[in-house]
Chains A and B, each alone.
Chain A
């Protein structure tokens, strides 16, 4: 003790093209931009970091391990634009020391709007992960770590997951530490792993900040902080975007050198080790019950949903979108369903956030729009076209889910 539990979120949305009220075609997505961003991130982050992790896992012969959550929309893009990245993730999977988590295939907010759709997307994601990496995920993380009691209930009832992740928000934990395994309120077997946001953000956000009193952050220093948890915690959950490596923190900040040296520094202390989420759940006892009646997330300082649902445009867009569910599904049209689902990706609503003007940087990241208003107008134009298609489409009897291999053409 303590165990270090790394989990990396890997996601890129399918960005919409500029679509006006006068456009009539069904090509909603900006293929060129999505391909360009996908390749750029692959070269700066996915490929070099995967290579490094593979090297580290081999060097430490399985004593170093990590977990990933790859969204379905990302996998679709990787398959199309840079398939070599998938094979490097597969190589990591083959080591047996990498765990893949489950989430909604489309990185959606469906839990908030349609339980049915939510469950369908989890199922689609689990099947996809099984197809690519031969693993059946046992731990669930919801989009942007959005979480409450209701979610843990829903997940426990599925009887296919052992654990769930959430933000170690201060107002939820109170005096308690995020460095233990908890049980969600009113759940029996499900376990809750909470992000240690202080230590996670030291890497994800503060690493290259020269005004930070701890800059420069070395692997040795960070390992010392981890070791200090000894005696007052079982596990340090380091949850972050995978793009931290090479993209949010560029290579010249020394982020890769940091990662390269971190396992050795942490393992210098005999009590320390690395575990994946499932291993953490299997190893440590439950310390307490966590009650989260209100929705929380890992976003911004508010740790709430205001980044996606903070203004009238966002909530109107998302309500209009989910209102189409029945009609879309009644058509049995696979392409229509896929397009509708791709619009559910949370990023579309994130781009409409007006907080953006206040605390820019994170929100601007790969944001294709100049303003949240442009994002809303574009989205609503696409949605309007989709609604029109839906009305025109003949009704069909429901088609059984055709499985993960079916990749509908993008755009």
Chain B
């Protein structure tokens, strides 16, 4: 057992937005992997979520709903030191946020911390957020208010907030308790929106990073963005890579599945960030020189319809299959069928999916504009815009068994070395540095 103070377990007040199975991307997966590994290290984590945790993933944890004051306790096995607080923010009537934020104002006022209000924001306007349904900002506000309330009642050593939705809550919690704040950046507004950033989200991100005592990023790629585009001092920004669960993949039942067609897989949100159009343009090129190839796009997103019509416009509609959003067993199925996985992301802070693909013995082609490219040697790397080269590499993987074999075998081995345990340990080291009395 490691300790922050005198021989006692380190206690982390962790703020998250997603947790399996309610995930829209890598954030929930990363939070799950990281907290599970922290749990194994004996770190006491109180994980606060804006909504209920799915029973399949968290049946063994103490679940507290501050709203009703009821607490449920389940037999604990997977998480021994993690408690989950679910704040059903989005279940609340829309009339409530004002009351909630009033409560936050009160707390801040009592503590003489009114200047923090600017950073936490005010809830009166709630314009359409770009990537999340509903009035995202209102939810973020309500979450912040509830977290501030919770924080004043909880005992912990530091606050660890994941991505911008929880930054206002992190700032508020740090303000009311005076505990150190770590913000963990899994993606930035520049990754999600290119140059068309939502100024309000950018402001929240920057406020969180500025206020934080340490910023953790998931790659050096993202660290550079934090330093150059948010003006955060480099000394404050640390990198902790993501990892994979390490289920060792799933055994391929009936390996010699007789299939006439090769399958090239795109798996992820179909959004600008993930570069679906480059995948389709590369597909077009591949089909110019090869027959018997199908392209599967698994995922949903705001560019799905655009992608469908683009495939048709390119005249390859009959060669491209869209599966919609997949989870769990469906994901395994699709990996089992795929011959190569392509991630042509325009800007990818990390990218856990390629690791999962390799874990499932699928060779990967990944964008150089990604964090995961920093940790993988046994992957083919391309510039996302270089459609010719993406196609060149797809053809090579499909054509040459020796290439497939080498990528798969070495890649699978390499992925086994990327453990959440190590990521959690890196976090712990950062915690310990911060808690050293000056």
Give the B-binding residues of A (Cβ under 8 A).
20-22, 311-313, 315-317, 354, 357, 370-371, 373-374, 376-377, 380-381
Contact = CB atoms under 8 A, between A and B. Distances in A.
Given A22-B285, A370-B381, A380-B400, A312 B406 contact: yes
A22 B290 CA distance: 11
A354 B392 CA distance: 21
Contact of A377 (B285, B393, B405): B393
B59 to A, nearest CB: 42
A263 to B, nearest CB: 45
A176 to B, nearest CB: 38
Nearest to B400: A380
A311 B392 CA distance: 22
Given A312-B402, A373-B380, A21 B395 contact: yes
Given A22-B285, A22-B289, A371-B377, A354 B406 contact: yes
Contacts of A315: 402
Contacts of A371: 377, 380-381
B388 interface: yes
Nearest to B393: A377
Given A21-B392, A22-B392, 16 more contacts: A20-B389, A21-B289, A21-B391, A22-B288, A22-B388, A313-B406, A357-B377, A373-B380, A373-B403, A376-B396, A376-B402, A376-B403, A377-B380, A377-B393, A377-B403, A380-B400
Nearest to A22: B388
Contacts of B395: 21
B402 A316 contact: yes
Contact of B406 (A311, A374, A380, A381): A311
Contacts of B405: 312
Contact of A313 (B380, B389, B393, B402): B402
A45 B406 CA distance: 37
Nearest to B286: A21
Contact of A373 (B289, B399, B406): B406
A317 B403 CA distance: 10
Contacts of A21: 289, 391-392, 395-396
Contacts of A312: 402, 405-406
Contact of A381 (B285, B377, B378, B396): B396
A375 to B, nearest CB: 11
Contacts of B406: 311-313, 354, 373, 376
Contacts of A377: 380, 392-393, 396, 400, 403
A121 B288 CA distance: 39
List 8 tightest A-B contacts by C-beta distance, closest first: A316-B402, A20-B392, A312-B402, A377-B396, A21-B395, A313-B402, A357-B377, A312-B405
A373 B397 CA distance: 10
A374 to B, nearest CB: 8
A20 B377 contact: no
Q: Is the interface of A mostly helix, strand, loop or mixed?
A: helix
B312 to A, nearest CB: 24
B410 interface: yes
A20 B388 contact: yes
A21 B392 CA distance: 6
Nearest to B405: A312
Nearest to A376: B403
Interface string B272-290: 0000000000000100110
A22 B393 CA distance: 11
Nearest to A357: B377
A373 B407 contact: yes
Contacts of B403: 313, 373, 376-377, 380
B282 to A, nearest CB: 11
Contacts of B392: 20-22, 377, 381
A20 B386 CA distance: 12
A371 B410 CA distance: 13
A380 B377 contact: no
B119 to A, nearest CB: 43
Nearest to A352: B406
Contact of A22 (B378, B391, B402): B391
A311 B288 CA distance: 30
User: Which residue, A313, A315, A373, has most C-beta atoms of chain B within 10 A?
Assistant: A373
Interface in B384-425: 388-389, 391-393, 395-396, 399-403, 405-407, 410
Contacts of A370: 381
Contacts of B401: 316
Nearest to B404: A312
Contacts of B410: 354
Interface in B256-307: 285, 288-289
A304 B376 CA distance: 27
B39 to A, nearest CB: 33
Contacts of B391: 20-22
B364 to A, nearest CB: 11
Contacts of A357: 377
A270 B34 CA distance: 72
A380 B381 contact: no
A402 B186 CA distance: 65
Contacts of A22: 285, 288-289, 388, 391-392
A354 B395 CA distance: 21
B278 to A, nearest CB: 16
A406 B378 CA distance: 42
A370 B403 CA distance: 16
A376 B405 CA distance: 13
A377 B288 CA distance: 18
26 contacts: A20-B389, A20-B391, A21-B289, A21-B392, A22-B285, A22-B288, A312-B402, A313-B400, A316-B400, A316-B402, A317-B402, A354-B406, A371-B377, A371-B380, A371-B381, A373-B403, A373-B406, A373-B407, A374-B380, A376-B400, A376-B402, A377-B380, A377-B403, A380-B396, A380-B400, A381-B392
User: Which residue, B380, B395, B406, has most C-beta atoms of chain A within 10 A?
Assistant: B406
A111 B235 CA distance: 56
A317 B399 CA distance: 13
B9 to A, nearest CB: 38
Contacts of A354: 378, 406, 410
B378 to A, nearest CB: 8
Contacts of B381: 370-371
Nearest to A314: B402
Contacts of A313: 400, 402-403, 406
A316 B402 CA distance: 7
A315 B401 CA distance: 12
Contacts of A311: 406
Contacts of B396: 21, 376-377, 380-381
Interface in B342-363: none
Contacts of B393: 377
Nearest to B409: A312
A20 B289 CA distance: 12
B425 to A, nearest CB: 23
Nearest to A374: B380
User: Which residue, A312, A376, A380, has most C-beta atoms of chain B within 10 A?
Assistant: A312
Nearest to B392: A20
A368 B137 CA distance: 50
A370 B399 CA distance: 21
Contacts of B288: 22
Nearest to B363: A373
Contacts of B377: 357, 371
A381 B289 CA distance: 12
A370 B378 CA distance: 12
B84 to A, nearest CB: 40
A331 B391 CA distance: 32
B190 to A, nearest CB: 25
A374 B377 CA distance: 12
